[in-house]
Amino acid sequence: RFPFMEGEIPDEPRPTQVALAMQSSQTTVLIAQGVAGLLSAQISRAFGRKGALLLFTVGGGFMFVLAGYSGEFARGRVGGMYIYLGCRALMGLFAGCQPVVQSFIADIWETSEPAVKAKKNMMIVMPILAAVALGPIMATFLAPLGDNLFLPLYVGGAFEFLGGVLVLTQIPAVRST
């Protein structure tokens, strides 16, 4: 039980409640990412690297949207904050794809001709760098646009789905090593 939140998302939260809820939300995501990182090798072996990356991106998209919706659904309900934190934990599980991405980069580097190595690796690296840089910037600009604090989660979900489309159409299938 989180005594500072009393298990629900109040209609008019105090600033300390918002700050603590945001911090516990991010901590939940980071812990889940760590767990997913440990499981990513097994997921990659089961689905292949491209399949694992697709699972992580599309699953992440669904979890972003569900986390955004859970904030609205859970507002004012007893236990609502726990629903939101559960969705954020699931979101973190789908965000733990860095080992798969690193393996992808290594596979492409090993199997590509020297003239195209950099170009092929940038196909994977650039979207990741853009997500790391643009995600927080966009959230900073989107949050004040309305009274929906969860709007950045919906936008994040849209970008995860876009990432899934890019995985399907742009990322080459490589032999797992």
State pLDDT tens for residues 26-46.
Answer: 888 889 988 988 888 888 889
pLDDT beneath 70: ranges in the chain: 1-19, 71-79, 124, 127-133, 135-136, 139, 143-149, 174-177
**∠ CA 116-44-93 to the nearest 5 degrees?**
115
pLDDT at 99: 81
Q: Which residue has the tokens 């032999």?
A: 175
- Answering whether pTM is above 0.85, one says no
pLDDT at 151: 79
Q: For 64, left (φ over 0), alpha (ψ -120 to 50), or beta?
A: alpha
The per-type count for the chain, helices as H runs and strands as E runs, is: 5, 0
Judge contact between 17 and 1, C-beta under 8 A: no
pLDDT at 102: 77
pLDDT at 170: 76
